[in-house]
Amino acid sequence: MHIETLKNACKGPVHAAGDADFLDALHGPLWNRLVPTRAPLAIVKATDEDDIIAAVKFARANRLKVAVRGGGHNWCQPSLRNGGLLIDIGAFTKVLSIDVDNRRAVIQPIISNRDVQAALNPLGLAFPTGHCPQVKASGYFLGGGMAWNPTVWGSGAESLEAIELVTAQGELITASETENPDYFWAARGAGSGFFGIVTKYYLKLYALPKAIHGSTSYYRLEDAPVIGTWLGRAAPGMSPSVELSQFIVQAPPHLREATADRNGWLCMVTGAAFDDTPEAARAALQPLETPPVAPLSREVATPLNFEMLFDGSGALWPEGVRARVEATFSNHDPGEMMQAVLPLLSQAPSPTTVFLFTIFCGPNVPAPQKDMALSMHAKVYGGPWTMWWDAKDDAANAAWHRDLITTLRPFNLGYYLGESNTVERPANAIEAFTPEKWRKLCDLRATHDPEGVFFDYFEGLSEP
Ligand SMILES: Cc1cc2nc3c(=O)[nH]c(=O)nc-3n(C[C@H](O)[C@H](O)[C@H](O)COP(=O)(O)OP(=O)(O)OC[C@H]3O[C@@H](n4cnc5c(N)ncnc54)[C@H](O)[C@@H]3O)c2cc1C
């Protein structure tokens, strides 16, 4: 490999293994601070599509495999592979256009959830972004996209109209339902196994819901199973405009004393209603006001906006943590699953950990999805987001997380590729798809990337 040839071909910086700034360039953009030692031979920080094309062609000519880095937020860091060339598209940060009349927008991939919505708020428009403010569109769409208002807007990828991408042959193409449909099908769910580099997303926009209201209730930890069963039974009769979640989290300050016997852990239920009038939002949340056990405290139907929703999510998933995550789909009673993990929950080693089930509302759950690689849809989504700060706590958190996901495994229908550990358990990648969609994805990869230019789910992951 002649690194000078690569440097001459690209406008953006190229960092070779061994350069003084190599590790900063490699690890700086990663969200999860539990950083493995896997490393490429070189990194290209692409400034535009031409840089990506030049880097892909260089990799082909030098028989190097290509890894891609978007926002660096994937919990298990599939952008880190042993060997090959890492193409980092972190400079693709622009909202390119917003067409208010036709409710369309075009964005580059490295725009955060908060920034996408912030550009739309003043125009009275909205988009089904992910929940945490800093996470970027790039890999969010490729995983499928667990979005706000999911039972009305669907997953984020269902609101894509087209993408632009660089192929394994180094060509810039557009893909949609009608143009290069194989790529469009695969990009909506293939996650870290996609065989191309997406440079633009074409979004279908929605009217901004005029009345977003939220209800939050806190229950004792031991009530989590009965509350889970109640929510599971209530959800089909509730309005699809409600996004309903059951959390196990640390108590807010006013409930610390009341939960001291459970190490501060409690059960929190949130409902966010995305409606057009306050009356409709309050009515949609009303079923949450008659629980089978009394809450420790509650706030009912508070007016919210997207900024406040992002602030709330951002507080639960703070920056700078070390983390292990396993998001799964299930059709089981959430109360039954809460009962199974209850003995472990009060023993969680780190107070930053979040355990979460989203219970989808409305009569048509699971709803049919568009035909795309994303396969999983079920009544319940979630699992543990195990998060801690210090390296000295790595082993305790890893052991607790392993016990929890092993306990949940019999209930799992499959995994969410965007938020599960395909590095330590490669079977999670396969189990994120139905067998038919997995076969189709493998066939498309073989057709469109026959030389294996892009790393697949499994290559380059063992620690050197
Ligand atoms: C705090 C937090 C909250 C989250 N909340 C949500 C949520 O609400 N909903 C949800 O669905 N997900 C959520 N996620 C998961 C997140 O969307 C995925 O992990 C996603 O992969 C992150 O995108 P990224 O571009 O940062 O990924 P990266 O880590 O940069 O990339 C991961 C892999 O994706 C592929 N990739 C990324 N971008 C491209 C591209 N442009 N072209 C080709 N391949 C690419 C590459 O194979 C790469 O190795 C959350 C993650 C975090 C850290």
pLDDT (tens digit per residue) in 236-266: 999 999 999 999 999 999 999 999 999 999 9
User: What pLDDT was estimated at residue 369?
Assistant: 86
Pocket of ligand 1, candidates 56, 68, 74: which has the most ligand atoms within 8 Å of its Cβ, to mutate?
Answer: 74
Residues 6+ apart with CB under 8 A from 163: 141, 174, 175, 176, 183, 184, 187, 198, 200, 201, 202
The structure tokens listed for 355 are 């355990």
- Give per-residue pLDDT as tens, 407-464: 999 999 999 999 999 999 999 999 999 999 999 999 999 999 999 999 999 999 986 6
Distance 317 CA to ligand 1 centre (A): 15
Distance 390 CA to ligand 1 centre (A): 24
Q: Is 408 left (phi over 0), alpha (psi -120 to 50) or beta?
A: alpha
Pocket of ligand 1, candidates 53, 65, 69: which has the most ligand atoms within 8 Å of its Cβ, to mutate?
Answer: 69
Question: Quick check: CB of 141 below 6 Å from ligand 1?
Answer: no
Q: Assess contact for 355 and 384: CB atoms under 8 A.
A: yes
Distance 191 CA to ligand 1 centre (A): 8
Distance 80 CA to ligand 1 centre (A): 13
User: CA 384: distance to chain centroid?
Assistant: 13
Distance 87 CA to ligand 1 centre (A): 15
Q: Given the CA of residue 165, which atom of ligand 1 is nearest to it?
A: 42
Distance 136 CA to ligand 1 centre (A): 7
Question: Quick check: CB of 460 below 6 Å from ligand 1?
Answer: no
Pocket of ligand 1, candidates 27, 73, 415: which has the most ligand atoms within 8 Å of its Cβ, to mutate?
Answer: 73
Distance 388 CA to ligand 1 centre (A): 20
Amino acid at position 293, single letter: V
Nearest to 354, CA basis, from 397, 399, 391, 396: 397
Query: b or e along 54-78 (b: 16 or more beta carbons within 10 Å of the residue's beta carbon)?
Result: bbbbbbeeeebbbbbbbbbbbbbbb
Question: Quick check: CB of 70 below 6 Å from ligand 1?
Answer: yes
- Give per-residue pLDDT as tens, 250-306: 999 999 999 999 999 999 999 999 999 999 999 999 999 999 999 999 999 999 999
**Rounded mean pLDDT, 359-369:** 91
Question: Quick check: CB of 87 below 6 Å from ligand 1?
Answer: no
Q: Is 72 left (phi over 0), alpha (psi -120 to 50) or beta?
A: left
Does 356 have pLDDT greater than 70? yes
How wide is the angle at C-alpha 188 spanned by C-alphas 85 and 316, nearest 5°? Answer: 85
User: What pLDDT was estimated at residue 464?
Assistant: 61
Angle at which helices 306-316 and 113-120 cross, to 10°: 170
Distance 30 CA to ligand 1 centre (A): 11
Distance 429 CA to ligand 1 centre (A): 14
Residues 6+ apart with CB under 8 A from 46: 10, 12, 52, 55, 87, 88, 89, 91, 92
Domain boundaries in the chain?
Answer: 3-88, 95-207, 211-427
Question: Quick check: CB of 317 below 6 Å from ligand 1?
Answer: yes
User: What pLDDT was estimated at residue 176?
Assistant: 98
Question: Quick check: CB of 131 below 6 Å from ligand 1?
Answer: yes
User: What pLDDT was estimated at residue 368?
Assistant: 79
- Using CA positions, which residue lies closest to atom 49 of ligand 1? 79
Q: Of all residues in the chain, what percent carry a pLDDT higher than 70?
A: 99
Distance 57 CA to ligand 1 centre (A): 25
Question: Which three-class secondary structure state does DSSP give residue 133?
Answer: coil
Fold held by 95-207: 3.30.465
The residue whose two tokens read 């590095």 is 423
User: What pLDDT was estimated at residue 240?
Assistant: 98
Distance 58 CA to ligand 1 centre (A): 25
Nearest to 197, CA basis, from 279, 126, 142: 142
Q: Assess contact for 214 and 311: CB atoms under 8 A.
A: no
Question: Quick check: CB of 138 below 6 Å from ligand 1?
Answer: yes
Question: Quick check: CB of 79 below 6 Å from ligand 1?
Answer: yes
Q: Assess contact for 40 and 85: CB atoms under 8 A.
A: yes
Q: 134 to each of 113, 117, 119, 408, how far by Cα in Å?
A: 6, 12, 15, 29
Distance CA 272, CA 344 (A): 28
Question: Quick check: CB of 73 below 6 Å from ligand 1?
Answer: yes
User: What pLDDT was estimated at residue 331?
Assistant: 98
Q: Given the CA of residue 134, which atom of ligand 1 is nearest to it?
A: 1
Is the pTM higher than 0.95? The answer reads yes
- Using CA positions, which residue lies closest to atom 33 of ligand 1? 192
Nearest to 126, CA basis, from 165, 89, 163, 156: 156
Distance CA 230, CA 227 (A): 5
Residues 6+ apart with CB under 8 A from 181: 175
The CATH code belonging to domain 211-427 is 3.40.462.20
Q: Assess contact for 240 and 364: CB atoms under 8 A.
A: yes
Q: Assess contact for 266 and 249: CB atoms under 8 A.
A: yes
Question: Quick check: CB of 376 below 6 Å from ligand 1?
Answer: no
- Give per-residue pLDDT as tens, 188-223: 999 999 999 999 999 999 999 999 999 999 999 999
**Rounded mean pLDDT, 52-76:** 98
User: What pLDDT was estimated at residue 312?
Assistant: 97
Distance 259 CA to ligand 1 centre (A): 35
Distance 282 CA to ligand 1 centre (A): 34
Q: Is domain 3-88 annotated with CATH 3.40.50.300?
A: no
Question: Quick check: CB of 132 below 6 Å from ligand 1?
Answer: yes
**Residue 347, beta-bridge partner list:** none
